[in-house]
Amino acid sequence: MPTLILLRHGQSQWNLEDKFTGWVDVDLTAQGEAEAKKGGELIKAAGIAIDRCYTSVLTRAIRTSWLALHAAGQAYVPEVKDWRLNERHYGGLTGLNKTETAAKHGAEQVKVWRRSYDTPPPPMEAGSEYDFSKDRRYAGATLPDTESLKTTLDRVQPYWEAEIAPQLAAGQTLLVAAHGNSLRAIVKLLFNVTNDAIVGVEIPTSNPLLIELDAGLRPTAARYLDESRATALPSV
């Protein structure tokens, strides 16, 4: 039966520095590398054979996939990269320190920008140092200047339906190594989580979420491989 593993990348340099990262291409820290390897070891210990891996075009997710697959003894697995699996775009918050931003705008406003379903941060100004329009990874694409979880889902869902779901429907076991919000978008789709409830769903870093699916790609079982770091999951 179809099987999906969701793996959120480990600590990045800007996670460590408490900055809004979004689409900025920062790398993993040494801790993040160790976390990714641990995720792969958990996959290996569970005896899971992966057929294909999907990831974003951001280094922290790509290297998480590489390190995890290597640790799982499956570095040879084909991998597909696509920007639609990127983290949400944090707009004008990109690069700002989270604590300093909360002090400036108020903790409640920042909480709304970070955690609400459909309220995006202020847009990024054209020509910003973090303007991605000239990055060749996004050539030909219409890019956002900010995103909420809702608009992140709006670009994840078509990719899911066109590229990932057909592989699952063929009975494959897939690893998706990506980001907190792009993975939350997938969880919302699969488990039919309400707009209000998805705000409270948190996916721990580098703890593989194993989801077993039926022929209609409806979840029949779901669990984190590291039960000591598990968070609450939507019911199946």
Question: Residue 35 catalytic?
Answer: no
CB atoms within 10 A of CB 200: 10
Q: Is 66 left (phi over 0), alpha (psi -120 to 50) or beta?
A: alpha
Measure the CA–CA gap between 124 and 174, rounded to whole angstroms: 34
Q: How far is CA 91 from CA 22, 24, 141, 185, in A?
A: 8, 11, 17, 18
CA 103, 107, 113, 114 dihedral sign is: positive
| Structure-block tokens of residue 145 | 């200047």
Q: Where are the alpha helices (DSSP H) in the chain?
A: 13-16, 30-45, 59-71, 98-105, 107-115, 149-159, 165-169, 180-191, 195-198
CA 131, 135, 139, 144 dihedral sign is: negative
Catalytic residue among 33, 35, 87, 147: 87
Inter-helix orientation angle 59-71/30-45, to 10°? 40
CB atoms within 10 A of CB 27: 14
Question: Residue 129 catalytic?
Answer: no
The closest of 163, 209, 216, 156 to 186, measured between CA atoms, is 156
Instruction: Write out the catalytic residue numbers.
Output: 9, 87
